[in-house]
Structure 1
Amino acid sequence: MMRLSFYQFLMTQRNPNGADEVEQFANNAFFDMLFPKQSHDFDEVSHYLEDNARYLPSMTIFDEAWKRYLEKMN
């Protein structure tokens, strides 16, 4: 299986009616045209979100999403 970028994984978590914070993060990231879509790098994505993602209320949501990403990729 080809390794998904974090963004590609995140898009599998989208659920427009979902209450889960990771689902909401995914829904919002879908509309973020500058998101580093090809990145597999935690630091690159993390720094981008810290500087640009006003739609992400807490970085702990990103941490949870990254944990799910790693579980899926391993």
Structure 2
Amino acid sequence: MEETWRRIMALLSEHAPVTAREIRPPAPASDLDHLRNRVGFELPPELLAWWALMDGVDDQRVRGAGYLIPKGYLPLR
């Protein structure tokens, strides 16, 4: 997943820089621990791996950045 994400970000940076700028850096481990404790169960490993690469998009600013993620869906942070 990590190599694929690097390729996606390289392509976005070249062809869709506005969208690339809106993608958050990796989620802090402390935030993931807090979320895990808050929901009360283990999160899927694939989701944790994804959040370790990027922390979603800023849902207050992403409106003009295009749709990296399927239209109408914004991952929770």
Structure 1 length normalisation: TM-score?
0.31
Structure 2 length normalisation: TM-score?
0.31
Question: Larger radius of gyration, structure 1 or 2?
Answer: 2
